[in-house]
Amino acid sequence: DAGVIQSPRHEVTEMGQEVTLRCKPISGHDYLFWYRQTMMRGLELLIYFNNNVPIDDSGMPEDRFSAKMPNASFSTLKIQPSEPRDSAVYFCASSPSGGIGNTQYFGPGTRLTVL
Amino acid sequence: AQTVTQSQPEMSVQEAETVTLSCTYDTSESDYYLFWYKQPPSRQMILVIRQEAYKQQNATENRFSVNFQKAAKSFSLKISDSQLGDAAMYFCAYRFRAGGTSYGKLTFGQGTILTVHP
């Protein structure tokens, strides 16, 4: 199994630019999660999907952030316009609906730097 | 709201020795899951071990074991025969066992940095 795939691994952009992060979950997993990790706030859940439908987006910081899941094998997290405070590592994770604890499996993360 | 607390920002251990990382949590629920994740310098979040709250028996995975004390809301991780590759940030996490198609939010602690000395 290839695991959760994220791209790009690193992104450096300038303030005001649009940023799109991509995720391919593990095949067969029903749930997909987007997290953000910063030194100040630790790991925060931004949004999660079940069967491609957004279920809880209460963690999305503001309207500049949006996430989509057009099909079971692809999701995007978009920031427009980006700001320096958005600099963080963004993780995508996926989980099956069954199994022990519906364990979440994480991708390698995307390190975003906004100058 | 559920909270997870890791009171040890940093820990260190000698190679081949044993170390215990602490975690406490606060919840009013009775059915939930607990996890330990490892994050090495590569940043990859790797599942180490998981525990179902309704199980009395402590989970074990090779050199990793937990001490789950439900009444005390404590979930510590013991690493035996520590290896250099165990050096990482370790996160404790809690997830409520929601019903139906709901999915309880995974709440993480602040993390503990583990250093392994040769």
The burial class, CB within 10 Å (0-12 / 13-18 / 19+), for A71 is exposed
pLDDT category of residue A48 using cuts at 50, 70 and 90: very high
Helix (H, G, I), strand (E, B) or coil at A105: strand
Task: Assign B55 a pLDDT band (cuts: 50, 70, 90).
Answer: confident
How do beta strands B32-39 and B106-108 pair? unpaired
Nearest CB to A100: which of B52, B105, B111? B52
Please tell me the predicted confidence (pLDDT) of residue A56.
87
Q: What is the mean pLDDT of residues A40-61?
A: 90
Q: Residue A73: is its pLDDT beyond 90?
A: yes
Please indicate if any CB of chain B lies within 8 Å of the CB of A50. yes
Residues of A in contact with B45 (CB under 8 A): 91, 93, 106, 109
pLDDT band at B104 (very low <50, low <70, confident <90, very high): low
Residue type (1 letter), B41: P
pLDDT at A103: 83
As a whole number, mean pLDDT of residues A7-12 equals 96
- Note whether A95 and A28 are within 8 A (CB): no
At A40 the pLDDT is 87
- Chain B residues close to A95, C-beta within 8 Å: 103
Contact B103 A91 (CB under 8 A): no
Report pLDDT for B8.
96
On the question of pLDDT at A81 being above 90, the answer is yes
CB B106, CB B94: distance < 8 Å: yes
Asked if pLDDT for residue B14 goes beyond 80, the answer is yes
